[in-house]
A and B are shown apart, each in its own frame.
Chain A
């Protein structure tokens, strides 16, 4: 998470105010204090993209789903053209199989 351009989506679990709009964001079990000054409308339960301790965007759930629908709508027939194309792998820390997700 040190990367200067990296942003990670996490769920707002707590809002606080120290003269600055702050909160706690959960990243798959790891919790961090985050500044929410730039997402003044974010509420507990919202997903935000966090960069160097600042929420810079709220994740739009409808758009998130729509992107996946568009990709899922690409015809399966094309797959046969290439067959298995190899090493698109999950990050090493993730172990559960994802094969069923697109079906």
Chain B
């Protein structure tokens, strides 16, 4: 496929690897933020081909993984109602809540449906005016414009039977939370290319300056990741800390203004609870007052639900990059993609699932 295959060229990948080996003179620790990037790095073994001193840590950029347990429990409470058609991206269905998961609830008769796009949830609502349709809106800035459009469409169509369980998170506050942490080891970031396709990179400039960390906006194919790593290593070796854009074919400095405008109309910035990290101020999105009537938490009175994480799961440390999946005693034994204890083993973008699928032990 055009714009995919050429960025997977093994000959060019070896040249980039050789250049990274020639450039890296010191020990460096780089975090790739996005779970899609983690997947490519682990699947292709890129981390194992880097110089011994260059270590990749896998960041919190898996939206399924950072969704807190209590939000899963809220989804389960809503999906169990007989009047509700609960719609979600497929990733969320196997994420374990405190007592069960959405796929088990579906097997017991709940009307849980996987959608490819949030607009499908709006279509289902329009086709079933006698039922309530709830969409589980998870994701980072990449997904927020799509979910915003679903709300705008539901409003335009006058649908009173559509609502959204919103669990949206933002990348820059998570990066600063990691940098502020006492045991932070991250010296440079590969920023998530598709988040930046929407948001641009201006909000990363103050982070790079304040924390003196290079931030390289990076794509998702092997050559993109290798070039992003090379650019980060060069900055580290030169003592620079700039925001650079590796993914120039898809990302502009100001991002996608139409998408951001829709996001801003529908969502406002709020405190969010991150799985394993805890609450981070101004780190997520909730519906603005104009669209609060679409808020499923209010509609179904689940806003006060809280939950305690499974103590056997070290998702929090995995998401902050302080541990890797093979450090976990449950990895591959008690916890597998078929029977996950925690979200990072469920999602295709989760670090534990990426390790397990690549056969790492």
* A residues at B contact (CB < 8 Å): 1-9, 11, 19-20, 27-28, 32, 35, 37-40, 47, 49, 51-54, 56-57, 59-61, 63-64, 66-68, 70-72, 74-76, 78-79, 81-82, 84-91, 94, 98-99, 101-103
Contact = CB atoms under 8 A, between A and B. Distances in A.
B303 interface: no
A61 B109 CA distance: 49
Contact of A87 (B44, B114, B258): B44
A68 B12 contact: yes
Interface of B: 1-19, 21-22, 34-36, 39, 44-46, 49, 61-64, 89-91, 114, 116-120, 138-140, 142-143, 145-146, 149, 153, 156, 192-195, 197-198, 220, 222-224, 227, 246, 248-252, 256, 258-259, 262, 347-349
A8 B221 CA distance: 11
Contacts, number: 216
Contacts of B46: 88
B9 A98 contact: yes
A102 B21 CA distance: 20
Nearest to B222: A88
Given A5-B62, A5-B194, A54 B145 contact: yes
A34 to B, nearest CB: 8
Secondary structure call for the B interface = helix
A38 B5 contact: no
Contacts of B11: 98-99, 101-103
B62 A78 contact: no
